[in-house]
């Protein structure tokens, strides 16, 4: 099995069985995101423990990549501080948009599967929607996020 198959399997798995899917009751913060290009919609909920994310959940509907990306995100950001999340966001953004991105794939764990998305520029916004939405939730933005 080569790396591409492995990445595809991660996306398929997280689309079929999204982790942390559902509403987080009494969330400390939440934000809504919409990608009109594809029709993806999601709401992201976070609970904090001081500066760190204690819990992250999401609900909504969208294409396989948007759901898998949100599922991977909720697993990846648990326990991370706002600063760590900001750095992770920068890495994911580079991974999705730059072919020669200087990103430590091994350090990203399962999130490295998102690198396959850059072969499909039209789907980059599907994968990045949840990350923009998380940013909004972290900054307590009141406006829904749109990728347009």
The binding site for Zn ion (CB under 5 A) comprises 38, 40, 63, 66, 126
Say if CB 44 and CB 30 are below 8 A apart: yes
Which residues does residue 145 pair with via DSSP β-bridges, in sequence order? 33
Least separation in angstroms between residue 28's CB and Zn ion is: 27
Say if CB 77 and CB 88 are below 8 A apart: yes
- CB closer to Zn ion out of 38 and 141: 38
- CB closer to Zn ion out of 63 and 141: 63
- In angstroms, what is the C-alpha Rg of the chain? 14
Least separation in angstroms between residue 66's CB and Zn ion is: 4
Least separation in angstroms between residue 41's CB and Zn ion is: 10
Query: 16: burial class by Cβ within 10 Å (0-12, 13-18, 19+)?
Result: exposed
- CB closer to Zn ion out of 24 and 60: 60
């Amino acid at each position: 099995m080569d790396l591409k198959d492995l990445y595809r399997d991660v996306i398929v798995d997280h689309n079929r069985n999204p982790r942390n899917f559902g509403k987080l009751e009494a969330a400390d913060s939440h934000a809504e995101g919409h990608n009109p290009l594809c029709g993806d919609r999601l709401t992201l909920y976070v609970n904090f423990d001081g500066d760190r994310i204690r819990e992250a959940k999401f609900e909504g509907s969208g294409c396989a990549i948007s759901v898998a990306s949100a599922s991977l995100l909720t697993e990846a950001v648990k326990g991370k501080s706002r600063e760590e999340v900001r750095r992770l966001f920068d890495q994911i953004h580079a991974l999705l948009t730059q072919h020669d991105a200087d990103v430590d794939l091994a350090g990203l764990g399962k999130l490295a599967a998102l690198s396959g998305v850059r072969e499909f520029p039209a789907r980059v916004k599907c994968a990045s929607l949840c990350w923009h939405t998380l940013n909004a939730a972290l900054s307590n933005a009141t406006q829904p996020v749109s990728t347009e």
